[in-house]
Amino acid sequence: MILGIICNTGKPECRSILPSFLDWLASLGVKYIADEALKSFLGESPDAYYPRERLGEHCDVVLSFGGDGTMLSTVRAVRDFETPILGVNLGGMGYLAEISPEELKERFRDFLAGRYDVEDHMILEATVDNDNMQRTYYALNDVVVDKGAVTRIIRLRISIQGQFFNTYEGDGIIISTPTGSTGYSLSAGGPILEPTMQGIIINPICPHTLAHRPVVISSDKVIEIETDPDISHLMFVCDGFAEQMLKPGAKIEVKRSERVVKLISMKGKYFYHVLREKMRWGI
């Protein structure tokens, strides 16, 4: 087995934890390669370096050290290869990055012993038709259309399966996967879904009327978002990355992708336990 290493070196914990962990891996005879951005930090210790977007092609499992933001950037990098990802949480809430620094070696022994599951997480495929130019994006958590630099309420027309559904007035809309339900959508009042289930959340951001509530639909449905023909400078955001500014009348088609993201879940780590712990329920 060859491991691929990605790390957010902007976090002090990374600089204190990663070198000793990699020395420990080497003592076990585990081979690993690393994101070439880590070369000045790790020196000659990895077996090889590759650009982050090619790392998944050359390893069996990717270890992502950081927070959920690092996990999302890791997903973007290795998505085309469907390489399983195991996250080490050096951030805050850390729903995606499963292992804490305190349990790193213990959990990794479990991993080497095969005490883990590989879970398929659905992702969204969003095709943006912006001023007659099309581009397709993929998101593990969510795609968002928000008002960007616009200071007034915006209007978004939503259709499902080609049938008009609603016109939302407010600050924008979040289209979220079950995995993303504990992210931005949750902050906007959306429901929490079990991450491996199949469903899509349509969640308005600060709607002008309280009648506009989050809705969960089947994941086999296709959603179309059409922006107001009189308003420009709206922003299209994919997994927290601002991708492009939308022209008036832009259209975004969102659907479940045929691709999946493979996340490693350790035995004994149950979503409901993690959720209760993170949300501090019953404490």
Domains of the chain plus CATH, in order, are 2-114 (3.40.50.10330), 123-259 (2.60.200.30)
The four Cα atoms 7, 48, 82, 262 give a dihedral, to 10 degrees, of: -40
- Tens of pLDDT, residues 212-263: 999 999 999 999 999 999 998 999 999 999 889 999 999 999 999 999 999 9
- Which is it for strands 2-7 and 31-35: parallel, antiparallel or unpaired? parallel
Quickly state the pLDDT bin for 93 (edges 50, 70, 90).
low
Across the range 190-206, mean pLDDT stands at: 96
What is the pLDDT, as a whole number, of residue 150?
A: 84
pTM: 0.92
| Poorest-pLDDT segment among 30-44, 75-89, 94-108, 249-263 | 94-108
E strand spans, the chain: 2-7, 31-35, 49-50, 61-66, 85-89, 116-130, 133-139, 142-146, 154-160, 163-170, 172-176, 200-205, 215-217, 223-227, 234-238, 241-246, 251-266
Find, among 28, 24, 30, 21, the residue nearest to 38 by Cα.
Answer: 21
Q: Which of 208, 251, 257, 203 is nearest to 229 (CA)?
A: 251
Q: At what angle do helices 12-27 and 104-112 cross, to 10 degrees?
A: 40
Predicted local confidence at residue 269, as pLDDT: 72
Q: Do β-strands 85-89 and 61-66 pair in parallel, antiparallel, or remain unpaired?
A: parallel
The Cα–Cα gap between 170 and 202 comes to 14
Q: In this structure, are residues 98 and 264 in contact, taking their beta carbons and an 8 Å threshold?
A: yes
CB 166 within 8 A of CB 255: no
Structure confidence at residue 270 as a pLDDT band (50, 70, 90): confident
Please confirm, yes or no, whether 120 is among the known catalytic residues: no
State the Cα–Cα distance between residues 283 and 265, nearest whole angstrom. 24
pLDDT over 70 at 283, yes or no? no
Phi, psi of 114 (to 5 degrees): 85, 15
The radius of gyration of the chain from alpha carbons, rounded to an integer in Å, stands at 20
DSSP 3-state of 277: helix
Average pLDDT over residues 119-135: 96
In this predicted structure, which of 33-37, 48-52, 122-126, 272-276 has the lowest mean pLDDT? 272-276
Percentage of the chain exceeding pLDDT 70: 98
| Active-site entry in 68, 171, 228, 239 | 68
Quote the pLDDT of residue 277. 78
Cα–Cα distance for residue pair 74/5, rounded to 1 Å: 10
